[in-house]
C-alpha cells in the first residue's frame, strides 16, 4: 500500500539515506560451486551467475558481509537476486516472471518429431547399431499407414511450430516415402495453421539433383554427418569403396549450390579415433565453410555400458578433447572469424540469457517426450532417438506405444510417460538438487538407464554429470579469466547471429 507522506523540501540527500534501514539481509535461493583454487560461482534461482572469491558464499550465508566494506559485492548480490533486504523481496514478481520465462519451453510441448523413415543404409558405420544393409523395403521402410498415423499424432501437438525430421538408416534411400510424408503434411498443417520445418538427416552419398530440386522447392533442410578429415571420417563411416568422406564433401558442395549455405548443417560424432585429433577436426569444419561445429561426445550406446571405470576414463578423454578443440575454435575467433561451438553455445545461452533454451539433452523437465518423440520404421513410438537405440539392443524401457494401437493420450500421457515424469526434473534428483549448475543442465533418464541401469541415475559415477559439470565449470572459468573470451561467447549467443 502506498503512503502519502509528502517530503518537506527538495533538499538533496546523500547516498546513505537511500539504503534500506535494515540491520541484516535475507537469503534468496542460490547455489554455489567451487570454480578453481581462487574462485567460486554463485547461481541464483533463475540462472544468473556471479563469480566471487572462494569463501564468499560462506560469508554471505553466515551474515559476515558488511554493507560498507563490501559495498560493490553487496550491491551485486542485491541487484542479482542472491540476497534481499526484505523477507519477500520487492521484486519477487520480476523474479517470478523470469522463472516462468526460463521454463516456457514447456508451453509448446513436443515440437520435434522424428520419423525413422527407413532402417536401410549403404554405410556400415562402426558406432551405429541400428542400420541394416539390405534391399528389403517391406521389412525396413516405414509403412504408409504408419506415416499417416505419425503425421496425425504430430499435428495433435499443442505446438504451433513443428519440426518433422526424417532419419534412417539412410533416409534418402526412402526418398519416395519422404516426399509422400511431406506432401501429406503440407495441406493438413496449413489447415491447422501450424508451421512445419522439414529436415532430412542424410550422409549425402545418394544425393542427386532431383532430390535437391524437391528440397529447394519445399524448403527442406539437410543435416549431414562429417566426422572430420578424410582419414577420420572414412575410418568411422565405413562403406564399400571407403569413400564416404569424398561423397560427403561432394554432397555438401552440391547441396550448397542448390540450397545455399544456411540450409545445410553437419554433425560430428566423436569416436576413439577422433579423440586424438581435436584441431584437425575443427580445421576440417572451418575449411569446408562451416561456421559452427557441434562437438558431440561418443554416445553412451557406444560405451561399454555399465562399466563405470571405463566410462569415466572415456569421458575424461572426451573432456580433454573438447577443451583442446574449443581452444582451437576460440583461436579462430581471436583472429576475427566467426566460428562457434554448438554445445558451448547451448550452455552459454542458459548461463547468459534470460530466455528458454529448449535443447533436448539439457532440459529439466527432460526433453524426451516433452520436446521430442520418435516414430520408428516399424511403427513403435519411443521417447527419443536414444530410446530406440536401446530398443535395438533389446531394451524396450522407453517404448511408449505403437502407431497401430495407441492414441495421442496413451503415448504422451500414458503410464510410461507418467512414470518417467518423476525422474525428468533435476530439481528433485539426488546430487542435482543442490548443484549450482542445475539450471544450466538437465535430466536425462534415458542416459541414466542406459549407462547406470536406473532412470534416477547415480551422479558420482554418471558420465552425463561428469561431462556437464566440468564443461559448465570450464566455460564459466574461461569467461571469468579473459574478457576477450567473454566477448566471443557473448557473440555466440547473440540473437543477431543465427547461423
* Residues in contact with another protein by the rule CB under 8 A: 1-8, 10, 12-15, 17-20, 26-32, 34, 45, 48, 57-58, 61-62, 75-76, 78-79, 86-100, 103, 308, 353-355, 430-431, 434, 458-461, 487, 490-491, 493-496
Query: Residue 22's beta-bridge partner residues?
Result: none
Which lies closer to another protein via its Cβ, residue 15 or residue 335?
15
3-state helix, strand, coil in the chain (%, to 5): 45, 15, 40
Residue located via cell numbers 533486504: 85
Which lies closer to another protein via its Cβ, residue 376 or residue 485?
485
Residue pair 60/27 in contact (Cβ under 8 Å)? The answer is yes
CA–CA distance, 354 with 228 (Å, rounded to integer): 34
Query: Residue 113's beta-bridge partner residues?
Result: 164, 373
CA–CA distance, 370 with 363 (Å, rounded to integer): 9
Min dist CB 118 to another protein, Å, is 40
Min dist CB 351 to another protein, Å, is 11
Min dist CB 461 to another protein, Å, is 5
Cell output for 124 = 556400415
Residue pair 114/374 in contact (Cβ under 8 Å)? The answer is yes
Min dist CB 61 to another protein, Å, is 5
Which lies closer to another protein via its Cβ, residue 57 or residue 424?
57
Which lies closer to another protein via its Cβ, residue 15 or residue 158?
15
Min dist CB 96 to another protein, Å, is 4
Burial label for 1, CB within 10 Å (0-12, 13-18, 19+), is exposed
Extended strands (E) in 276-358: 292-293, 295-296, 340-341
C-alpha separations of 37 from 33, 40, 54 in Å? 11, 8, 7
Which lies closer to another protein via its Cβ, residue 130 or residue 465?
465
Which lies closer to another protein via its Cβ, residue 18 or residue 287?
18
Which lies closer to another protein via its Cβ, residue 31 or residue 277?
31
Q: Cα 390 from chain centroid?
A: 20
Min dist CB 62 to another protein, Å, is 8
Cell output for 459 = 551422479
Min dist CB 434 to another protein, Å, is 5
Which lies closer to another protein via its Cβ, residue 103 or residue 132?
103
Burial label for 5, CB within 10 Å (0-12, 13-18, 19+), is exposed
Min dist CB 332 to another protein, Å, is 18
Question: Smallest Cα–Cα separation from 343: which of 201, 467, 481, 162?
Answer: 467
Which lies closer to another protein via its Cβ, residue 60 or residue 119?
60
Three-class SS of residue 319?
A: helix
Min dist CB 416 to another protein, Å, is 25
How many CB atoms sit inside 10 A of residue 467's CB?
18
CA–CA distance, 496 with 490 (Å, rounded to integer): 11
Residue pair 151/181 in contact (Cβ under 8 Å)? The answer is yes
CA–CA distance, 306 with 454 (Å, rounded to integer): 10
Residue pair 199/164 in contact (Cβ under 8 Å)? The answer is yes
* Plot region of 14 (φ>0 → left; ψ -120 to 50 → alpha; else → beta): beta
Cell output for 82 = 542472491
Min dist CB 81 to another protein, Å, is 9
Min dist CB 135 to another protein, Å, is 48
Min dist CB 337 to another protein, Å, is 16
Which lies closer to another protein via its Cβ, residue 20 or residue 208?
20
Query: Residue 341's beta-bridge partner residues?
Result: 293
Which lies closer to another protein via its Cβ, residue 79 or residue 192?
79
In degrees, rounded to 5, the angle at the alpha carbon of residue 280 between the alpha carbons of residues 278 and 285 is 100
Cell output for 59 = 560469508
Which lies closer to another protein via its Cβ, residue 71 or residue 190?
71
Question: Smallest Cα–Cα separation from 330: which of 488, 476, 482, 471?
Answer: 488
Amino acid at each position: 500500500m502506498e503512503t502519502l507522506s509528502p517530503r518537506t523540501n527538495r533538499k538533496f540527500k546523500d547516498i546513505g539515506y537511500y539504503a534500506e534501514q535494515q540491520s541484516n539481509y535475507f537469503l534468496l535461493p542460490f547455489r554455489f560451486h567451487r570454480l578453481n583454487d581462487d574462485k567460486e560461482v554463485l547461481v541464483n534461482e533463475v540462472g544468473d551467475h556471479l563469480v566471487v572469491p572462494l569463501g564468499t558464499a560462506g560469508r554471505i550465508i553466515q551474515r559476515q558481509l558488511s554493507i560498507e566494506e563490501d559495498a560493490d559485492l553487496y550491491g551485486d548480490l542485491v541487484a542479482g537476486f542472491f540476497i534481499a533486504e526484505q523477507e519477500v523481496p520487492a521484486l519477487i514478481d520480476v523474479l517470478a516472471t523470469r522463472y516462468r520465462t526460463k521454463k516456457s519451453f514447456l508451453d509448446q510441448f513436443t515440437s520435434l518429431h522424428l520419423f525413422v523413415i527407413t532402417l536401410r543404409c549403404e554405410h556400415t558405420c562402426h558406432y551405429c547399431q541400428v542400420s541394416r544393409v539390405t534391399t528389403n523395403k517391406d521389412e525396413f521402410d516405414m509403412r504408409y499407414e504408419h506415416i499417416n498415423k505419425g503425421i496425425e499424432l504430430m499435428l495433435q501437438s499443442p505446438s504451433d511450430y513443428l519440426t518433422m525430421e526424417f532419419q534412417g538408416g539412410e533416409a534418402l534411400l526412402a526418398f519416395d516415402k519422404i516426399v509422400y510424408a511431406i506432401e501429406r503434411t503440407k495441406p493438413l498443417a496449413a489447415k491447422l495453421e501450424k508451421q512445419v520445418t522439414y529436415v532430412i538427416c542424410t550422409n549425402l552419398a545418394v544425393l542427386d539433383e532431383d532430390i535437391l530440386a524437391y528440397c529447394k522447392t519445399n524448403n527442406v533442410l539437410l543435416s549431414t554427418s562429417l566426422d572430420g578429415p578424410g582419414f577420420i571420417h572414412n575410418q568411422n563411416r565405413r562403406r564399400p569403396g571407403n569413400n564416404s568422406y569424398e561423397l560427403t564433401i561432394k554432397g555438401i558442395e552440391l547441396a550448397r549450390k542448390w540450397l545455399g549455405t544456411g540450409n545445410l548443417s553437419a554433425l560430428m560424432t566423436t569416436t576413439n579415433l577422433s579423440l586424438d585429433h581435436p584441431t584437425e577436426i575443427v580445421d576440417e569444419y572451418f575449411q569446408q565453410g562451416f561456421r559452427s561445429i557441434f562437438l558431440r561426445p561418443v554416445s553412451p550406446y557406444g560405451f561399454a555400458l555399465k562399466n563405470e571405470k571405463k566410462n569415466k576414463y572415456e569421458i575424461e578423454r572426451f573432456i580433454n578433447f573438447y577443451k583442446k578443440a574449443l581452444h582451437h575454435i576460440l583461436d579462430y575467433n581471436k583472429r576475427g572469424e566467426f566460428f562457434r561451438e554448438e554445445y558451448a553455445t547451448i550452455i552459454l545461452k542458459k548461463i547468459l540469457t534470460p530466455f528458454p533454451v529448449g535443447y533436448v539433452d539439457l532440459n529439466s523437465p527432460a526433453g524426451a517426450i516433452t520436446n521430442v518423440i520418435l516414430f520408428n520404421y516399424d511403427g513403435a513410438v519411443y521417447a527419443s532417438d536414444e530410446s530406440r537405440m536401446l530398443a535395438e539392443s533389446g531394451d524396450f524401457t522407453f517404448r511408449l506405444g505403437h502407431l497401430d494401437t495407441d492414441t495421442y493420450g496413451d503415448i504422451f500421457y500414458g503410464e510410461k510417460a507418467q512414470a518417467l515424469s518423476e525422474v525428468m526434473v533435476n530439481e528433485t534428483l539426488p546430487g542435482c538438487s543442490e548443484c549450482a549448475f542445475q539450471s544450466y543442465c538437465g535430466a536425462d533418464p534415458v542416459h541414466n538407464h542406459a549407462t547406470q541401469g536406473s532412470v534416477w541415475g547415480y551422479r558420482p559415477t554418471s558420465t552425463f554429470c561428469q561431462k556437464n559439470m566440468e564443461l559448465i565449470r570450464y566455460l564459466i572459468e574461461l569467461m571469468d579469466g579473459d574478457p576477450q573470451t567473454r566477448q566471443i561467447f557473448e557473440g555466440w549467443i547473440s540473437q543477431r547471429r543465427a547461423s
